[in-house]
Amino acid sequence: MGIGDVRRVETESCADLYYVDPGVYEVPGHTSVYLLDGEVPTIVESGIGKHTDRVLAALDELGIGREEIEVLALTHVHLDHAGGAGELVAACPNADLIVHERGAPHLVDPSTLVAGTKQVVGESGWQFYAEPEPVPEGRIREVTDGDVVDLGDHELVVHHAPGHATHQVVYHDPADDAVFTADVLGCFYEQFDTARVATPPPTFDLDQCLDDIELLRDIDAETLLYSHFGPRPADGALDTYADVLKAWVARVAQTRRQQDDDRAAFKDLLDANGVPESWSDDLEYGELRMNFSGVVTYLDQQATTTDEQERPAAE
């Protein structure tokens, strides 16, 4: 599947669901934006604002008018999922933007989100992003755990899944027996046979991430709709990613113990990092830096908590 291509989700239960590759980070097979051509036409995820034109072109290809879109649902507000939201809302005048209540302020004023992203990915990584357009507050519908977004012949059942980010949700569509997984199961790029981690700062929490995987187990959907990338059957995916995630956190912890400082630890991991041939050095560096930083922040917080618990009470 190439950049700009549109495919139908072809699983046993899914109907009228498509996904487009908007070319996030200028590589194919990295990020999906989903298009539901049902009674209430809906977009799930927005991609980065640089490539909104490809999402709109996909609507044209499917014969869905921009004014027909009534819902733009975001799983969370990290820029690879939400950076194009402002442009899509402007292009689709009848769409409500659905997002968890903790993420909504960052869409109205993206400045903090932009500053945090720049700090994590660095200048080389920021070249792949675009400054997001603010979303008018009146266009945003905040949701929280247990809410249901009515799409006529479909619905999105909202489940809060805060391990990857405090503003992350997954959406379950019972009619399609499918769940939009956000980053709960990491990234399943087409070039790999197994998932890769998504562990960004500042709020990555391993235990909560494992609880989020159990949440997906309870939902028990037939089809997993990855934001990175595309649909996959659920068989075995949850256990596999739990193992990958725990192994990554343990590897970062061990590498830090073996090296003099975090700079040396990161370099050691970078030298051993395997990525698709289509990825640039800047993209490889930015992705690993983000995932490394999230685990380091988590490990340091755990160490601080342990120290505080073990410190004798003052007499």
At residue 41, φ and ψ (nearest 5 deg) are -55, 135
What pLDDT sits at residue 166? Answer: 96
Within a domain: 111: yes
- Sole residue written with tokens 């072109």: 57
Within a domain: 314: no
Within a domain: 313: no
Within a domain: 196: yes
CATH assignment of the domain containing 232? 3.60.15.10
**CB 17, CB 34: distance < 8 Å:** yes
DSSP label of 187: B
Within a domain: 78: yes
pLDDT tens-digit map of 44-101: 999 998 889 999 999 999 999 999 999 999 999 999 999 999 999 999 999 999 999 9
Q: CA-CA-CA-CA torsion for 212, 213, 216, 221, nearest 10 degrees? A: 160
What pLDDT sits at residue 280? Answer: 79
For residue 266, the enclosing domain spans 6-307
Within a domain: 312: no
Containing H/E element for 207?
A: helix 206-219
Give every strand in the sheet of 6-8, ordered side by side.
6-8, 17-20, 33-36, 42-44, 71-73, 96-100, 140-143
What pLDDT sits at residue 124? Answer: 76
- Other beta carbons within 10 Å of 231: 23
pLDDT tens-digit map of 155-183: 999 999 999 999 999 999 999 999 999 99
Within a domain: 134: yes
At residue 75, φ and ψ (nearest 5 deg) are -75, -30
Q: CA-CA-CA-CA torsion for 39, 222, 180, 28, nearest 10 degrees? A: -100
- Report the chain's mean pLDDT, rounded to a whole number: 92
pLDDT tens-digit map of 203-237: 999 999 999 999 999 999 999 999 999 999 998 89
This model's pTM is above 0.85: yes
**CB 187, CB 196: distance < 8 Å:** yes
Number of structural domains found in the chain: 1
Within a domain: 277: yes
